[in-house]
Amino acid sequence: MSDPQQFNFDLLINRQRTGSIKWEKYNPDVIPMWVADMEFAVAPDIITAIKQRLEHPILGYTSATDELITATTDYLTHRHDWNIDPQWLSWVPGVVPAVAACTNMIEPHEEVLVFTPVYHPLLIIPNKYSRPRVDVPLSYTEERWTIDFDAFEKAITKRSRLLLLCSPHNPVGTMFTAQELRRVVEICAEHNILIVSDEIHCDLILHENKKHLPTGLIADELGAHVITLMSPSKTFNLAGANCSFAIIPDPELRKQFDAQCLYTIPIMPTLSYTATQAAYTHGWQWHQQLIEHLRGNLTYLREQIASIPHLWMDNTEATYLAWINTAHLPVEDANDFMLKAGVGLSPGAQFGDGSYQRLNFACSRAQLAMGVDRIRTAVDSLG
C-alpha cells in the first residue's frame, strides 16, 4: 500500500481529553508509564483502512473475511513458522475475556497454575471465577527469570487442570527457550493439564538474536492441548480496537471455547477486523522501525537505571515493559514515591512481587528521558 517511509516514534502526541485510561489516571503533571499501550501513532495504512471501511455506511455484526483469515495465517507462517489450519481460529474481542472463557471451561474444584509474578488478570480471573489458584514463583537464574521446574512439578496435584502461561512473559520480559517450553508442554500433557498460552507480546521481541516460539507449535508436535491467544493489539498499538484470536487445533476444545464465549463475550467489532487485516498485511515496515525504537529506549533505560542508586533493572528480552527492582530504595512505598516524583508506574505487588515497579518505555526518547530524570532527582534527594 505504501512506499518505503520513515515513521516518527519521537513525536510527542497529546492524548489529554481523548479518554485515554493511561493519561486520565493522574493529574497532567505526572508522566504515565504504566498500562501497556504505546505513545505512538498507529501505522498510517491501518488508519487508511479504517477510514475506507467507514465509507460503507453500515457497521453490522461482522465475521472474519477470507482475506483476514489469509492475512492471519500468512502472518503466523511468515513471522512464527507456524502453519495452522484456518479452522483453528476463533476471533474474540480481547485476550483477557478469552482467558476468562478458558478458566470457565474447567470444573470449579479444578486448579489453575500460574507462574508468578504475572500480568495481574491471570491472577484475578481464577479468583473471580472461584477456581483454586496455585502460584508457582519464577526463579531468577543466570540473570533471567525462568521457570522453576521442581517447584512446578511439586505444585501439580490431581486437581490441576489449567496452566495460564504468559509467553513472552509480562512483567519479567522473559522469552522462554524451546527447551523450557517443551518441558512445560510435556509436563502438562503428562498430567492432562490444558495450557492457555497468552502470547500477546509475541511480536515485541527486543533481544537481537531470539525469535518467538509459539507454545502451540511445540504442542502440535507432541500432540498436547494448548489454546494460544494472540492479537495485533500490543504489536500495532491497537489496544482500544479489541481484536484478538484464539488458535485451538483440537475441534472438541474449540467447540467448548466457542460455546463458552457465545452470549457472554461480544463478537469482535467490525472495525477491529479491518484494523487486524490492515496491520498484518501492511504494518510490518512500521513494526520494524518500532522495534528499533524500542531497542534504543531499552538500552538507554538500562544504562540510566544502572546509574541511579538503589535501583536495579532486570533483563527484558521482549515487551516494552521494564521490571525495576526498588527493594533497596529507602522509602515505604516505592510506587507512591515515584508518583510524587511525577512518574506513574505499575506497582509490582499488582503482579505478585512488591519489590518491583513496572515501567512502560513505549514512548518518545524525550518523554522517557524526562521520566528517568524525575526518578533520578527524587532518588538523589534521598541522600
Q: Is 214 in the site for ligand PLP (CB under 6 A)?
A: no
Binding window for ligand PLP (CB under 6 A); candidates: 11-19, 92-100, 144-152, 261-269: 92-100
**Contact call for residue 94 and ligand PLP (CB under 6 A):** yes
**Residue with Cβ nearer ligand PLP (73 or 167):** 167
Among 73, 103, 174, 244, binds ligand PLP (CB under 6 A): 244
Residue carrying C-alpha cell 504494518:
283
Q: Note whether 55 and 218 are within 8 A (CB).
A: no
CB of 360 to ligand PLP, least distance (A): 9
Query: Of the two residues 319 and 335, which places its CB atom closer to ligand PLP in the complex?
Result: 319
178: cell is 524451546
The count of other CB atoms within 10 Å of the CB of residue 246 is 26
List CB contacts of 252: < 8 A, sequence separation 6 or more: none
Angle (nearest 5°) at CA 263 between 130 and 266: 100
> In angstroms, rounded to a whole number, what is the distance separating the alpha carbons of residues 278 and 298?
28
**Contacting residue, 31, 33, 36, 359, with ligand PLP by CB under 6 A:** 36
In angstroms, the CA 237 to CA 201 distance is 11
Binding mask 108-147 for ligand PLP (x = CB under 6 A): -----------x----------------------------
Least distance to ligand PLP, CB of residue 159, Å: 25
Report the nearest approach of ligand PLP to the CB of residue 38 (Å).
11
Nearest to ligand PLP of 94, 117 (CB atom): 94
In angstroms, the CA 56 to CA 44 distance is 19
The reply on whether position 348 binds ligand PLP by CB under 6 A is no
Q: Check: CB of residue 322 under 8 Å from CB of residue 305.
A: yes
List the one residue out of 90, 119, 85, 87 whose CA is nearest residue 102: 90
Residue 294 sits in the site that holds ligand PLP (CB under 6 A): no
- 287 Cβ partners below 8 Å, 6+ apart? 43, 203, 235, 236
In whole angstroms, the minimum distance from the beta carbon of 234 to ligand PLP comes to 7
What does the binding site for ligand PLP look like in residue numbers (CB under 6 A)?
A: 36, 94-96, 119, 166, 170, 198, 200, 231, 233, 239, 244
